[in-house]
Structure 1
């Protein structure tokens, strides 16, 4: 049996074994038909290949996440730096994040000006230059400059590749394809951890330089493939009136004519919604997939377009997205990913090789649970998975903090409970917040503000990620339990906020989502909660006999 036919059989079996809705079964049956057709011709459609190639950007992002923590605790690196303090340790790890947050705000403008594929190529090339500087650094300041440059490239390409996949994917496959970068990120984390596991015993600075050298090579190769082979977005070409080139690109990607109509109609819907919210002083010709031009007006100014995210119907959704994306990092997940060797060392695993192995196993666990989490993302409610996942993560953090505070972590049983809790925390995060929060933050936004609001929310994510990466070593150095109680409290608070302010969006249309937020404010939500608490639980009246 070939790989293609085996994959088709797996999908078909999942359709038969799951009790999905009729619409879901129909979409999955179409996927089986597409895979069968692809296997007959020897390769999948062009849009699948392009999406997977584009998703390799997540792979290099994951490698950097996986190697930076182990590298900073290697003996040769600490000798090179001069046995850094916890503060310097945090600066080394986190110096990539603020530049990434800053450049992410300009990534959309670069992609709009030069095209999605060129924007991705430029960002990944800058990322590769930064990694090369880290590998060849002769002083710690040069190493940090390399991480800053790497962060600029990361912010430029990572958000753009998601937009590119959305723009080339047929609507019925978009959900699965847009989760591919997340899956490749987890594979990159596994690769990064085990790369360091393999180089830690090299008795020279090559032990920590080699992982960055390999990362630079991967990033250069990715940039070259994207620049030479990845086709431009047909939607981007159509918006610029290059309809003939867009048609040829659609054919190259293998997207059916009916799917092209749906994708292009979404552009027209976005334009119409934008026009209804602002006055206009100009117009722009836009061609649909059939080549028929339409006219849409342009917003008054870029300032009006930016400030539209604070309009009455959009600002609560913006604030909720910013809050959720920020608190996603304050759960402590990147503290676990960046400093896993340090956490396992604190739990009693002594040698670097053993801590790297434990970290690699945690990355494998993350990868394993990410697969079903991405497959069933549309079958789990966003609200319930966020709340239950938050409560579960808070419980694991409080348990670890309590064991350290009570001195039980030094005992055999307590030590293994902490190690198991680290793995359990990562699993709970990957099946809940890793999928639900980023998806929810984007889908609740009005169409006209989605790009701007999502960029702002991701900026919040980068900034809080920076704070976690910067201060976690200091927290662990000054208090063995303080970081766990802090992250647990943030996660519990987020779950409580979601109980009050987070409406469910699963299986709802964009119009239904708009209605769920229409005319509501945080004050109204608190008033409703107060009335419910005041009334108390409803009492059942026993029937009279």
Structure 2
């Protein structure tokens, strides 16, 4: 077996992707902080004990601003460039964290959450776009899913930070986590602005080909890989020009050199229009991405992460220290399983991972809901509560090795180059809106029904698994050009036509069978 040379310097694109992934740490740490903070005694003394609805509003106030800003993040990334857009969003995020840390009343705290959300929406989706655009196909899965690994690191850091500061006998117990998060955000802003090179694809689209060549060299991307990466960009932009000019299929048979020339002469307004995501070739992929990203949150994962202390209290753990520790342990478990999931992202199929992950999560949700509905967890006694606690961990594990890894990667890599930033941002907007609904409604659902939330999330997850089985073409190991061709060969409308045809055939068969049996009975 050949020894691994640990002294060998990694390629520039790997280092850039890892630095970019640090943005995921900010999101993860905020998610890990906000749930424990809102149940700390000092926080409740400071703002008053909130009702379930107010509790949900405090936590979810970050999400609608994030959804709104994410819809425009693609446009900002097309104008400023991917790396500068990331830096801008991270800086705004840091300002919001600072406002939360210095809040003198609940209104200022909520304003800080809103500002934080604006920044989060601007930079988070662009992380995946940037990494996708600088990575060769063989490494794209591992590098594009690296932000998810850093999210789990941030989640773990957030939970254990609160576990440590909960002992402080002042408002510093909940201010310190936000102060640390603000410091991390400003440090990441500096790294993104001064170190991350611009995306060579973005430079090429803006006709800065000399700079693009130098950036490819700085990223250490081999010439053969550059051709594979740029191939999809050339074809997609030429197709956009063809659609714009109503040209026929001959346009798509241009040679590579002609493709590049067409890219340079294609109308700039067409390439940069936000509404281009609704063009015939891009629209089905946008709708699939929006659906998958929205349903990723309706699985209930952020209900579990934001309100882990509440869930563990409901299951029978009665003290803040116990629930914070249980939440921290869940973060360790999530981080641990995300490592192999990230390393093997390019070995696991996106479609089968989504389907099996959805079925597994639905099973755990239905099991927990059934235990509560059947009274097996009454007052946190008996074996039922331990089954629920295990299921909470199991649900988080299944999500972390399936949907957390493949859904965000899939939604970015299936888009045509000219609409990737805008379409990915819109998909993230769908994710934020669903996240808002989950964060807002979970406390009220838990307060009014011990099992309703579990059955709701399980049903959404099961529905998504079925849709994925029908409509998702596999993309593992394929170049972006091959992904484009796969979507043309298997469009969602064609798949829906097959499903309708199959259902129609089965219905006709049932009707004919009933008629034959009825005629037989009449004769008899």
Shift of 1:446: 4.6
TM-score, normalising length: structure 1: 0.84
Give the conservation status (yes or no) of the 8 Å contact 2:361–2:461.
yes
Map of 2:235 onto structure 1: 269
- In structure 2, how many angstroms separate the alpha carbons of the residues matched to 1:55 and 1:393? 26
Q: How many residues matched? A: 494
1:514 aligns with 2:484: no
1:328-381 Cα deviation digits (max 9, x unpaired): 111100000100011001111111111111001111111111122222233333
Map of 2:149 onto structure 1: 183
- In structure 1, how many angstroms separate the alpha carbons of the residues matched to 2:183 and 2:113? 16
Question: Mean alpha-carbon deviation: is it higher for 405-414 or for 449-458?
Answer: 449-458
- In structure 2, how many angstroms separate the alpha carbons of the residues matched to 1:446 and 1:239? 13
Shift of 1:481: 1.3
Match of residue 362, structure 2, among 394, 402, 427: 394
Give the conservation status (yes or no) of the 8 Å contact 1:121–1:223.
yes
Map of 2:372 onto structure 1: 404
Shift of 1:104: 1.1
Shift of 1:186: 0.7
Match of residue 415, structure 1, among 365, 381, 385: 385
Map of 1:346 onto structure 2: 314
1:328 aligns with 2:296: yes
Shift of 1:225: 1.9
Q: Select the structure with the greater relative contact order (CA < 8 A; seq sep ≥ 6).
A: 2
Give the conservation status (yes or no) of the 8 Å contact 2:71–2:429.
yes
Shift of 1:323: 2.0
Structure 2 stretches lacking a partner, 5+ long: 248-255, 511-524
Map of 2:96 onto structure 1: 130
Residue correspondence of structure 1 range 34-433 to structure 2 within 5 A: 36=5, 39-40=7-8, 43-279=9-245, 296-299=264-267, 305-410=273-378, 411-433=381-403
451 and 341 in structure 1: CA distance in 2 versus 1, 3 angstrom threshold: same
1:373-411 Cα deviation digits (max 9, x unpaired): 222233333333222222221121111112112221132
Task: Let me know the Cα RMSD of the aligned residues.
Answer: 2.7
TM-score, normalising length: structure 2: 0.87
- In structure 2, how many angstroms separate the alpha carbons of the residues matched to 1:293 and 1:521? 35
Map of 1:479 onto structure 2: 449
1:456 aligns with 2:426: yes
Shift of 1:429: 1.2
- In structure 1, how many angstroms separate the alpha carbons of the residues matched to 2:375 and 2:210? 70
167 and 380 in structure 1: CA distance in 2 versus 1, 3 angstrom threshold: closer
- In structure 1, how many angstroms separate the alpha carbons of the residues matched to 2:261 and 2:352? 44
1:154-179 Cα deviation digits (max 9, x unpaired): 11111222222223333332222111
Shift of 1:313: 4.7
Map of 2:440 onto structure 1: 470
311 and 168 in structure 1: CA distance in 2 versus 1, 3 angstrom threshold: closer
- In structure 2, how many angstroms separate the alpha carbons of the residues matched to 1:267 and 1:493? 33
Secondary structure of the corresponding residue to residue 264 of structure 2:
strand
Secondary structure of the corresponding residue to residue 50 of structure 2:
coil
Map of 1:26 onto structure 2: none
